[in-house]
Amino acid sequence: MFSIEGLMSKQVISSPNVPAAVGPYSQAIVANGMVYTSGQLGLVPATGQMVEGDVSAQTHQVFANLKALLEAAGSGLESVVKVNVYLQRMDDFGAMNAVYSQYFAVPYPARSTVEVAQLPKNGLVEIEAVALVK
């Protein structure tokens, strides 16, 4: 637990059920009742390698990683309020969206989706979330 001038505390969250960070960042942070996840790729936690398959397969793996990370923080997908989706190709929006819709119900979280030039490890999709702690 860290304190920033007594105004806010933050707790670093990590889980062995989520791929290890590939840089100087935390897997997630809990601060003031909210969980902020780092972007998750379609990496298999046990191997650190990208799941085989297309953007749909990667999106399913991303959600498995997000679910494990949120649960480690005392939250869950049902508590997500905001999602940012990064796609290598906007042409994959429909396939990603079809998988995405399997993980959320009404009321859906707010969401932004953007196309990016490249993602780490040549991923096709990266997703980050903000959720309430239960």
pLDDT tens column, 13-66: 999 999 998 789 999 999 999 999 999 999 999 999 999 999 999 999 999 999
Place of tokens 């297309």: 54
Angstrom distance (rounded) from CA 31 to CA 74: 12
Per-residue confidence (pLDDT) for residue 3, from 0 to 100: 46
Selection from 61, 9, 18 nearest residue 37 by Cα:
18
Distances (CA, A) of 88 to 100, 114, 117: 16, 9, 6
Angstrom distance (rounded) from CA 87 to CA 127: 9
Domains of the chain: 2-132 (3.30.1330.40)
Amino acid letter at 92? D
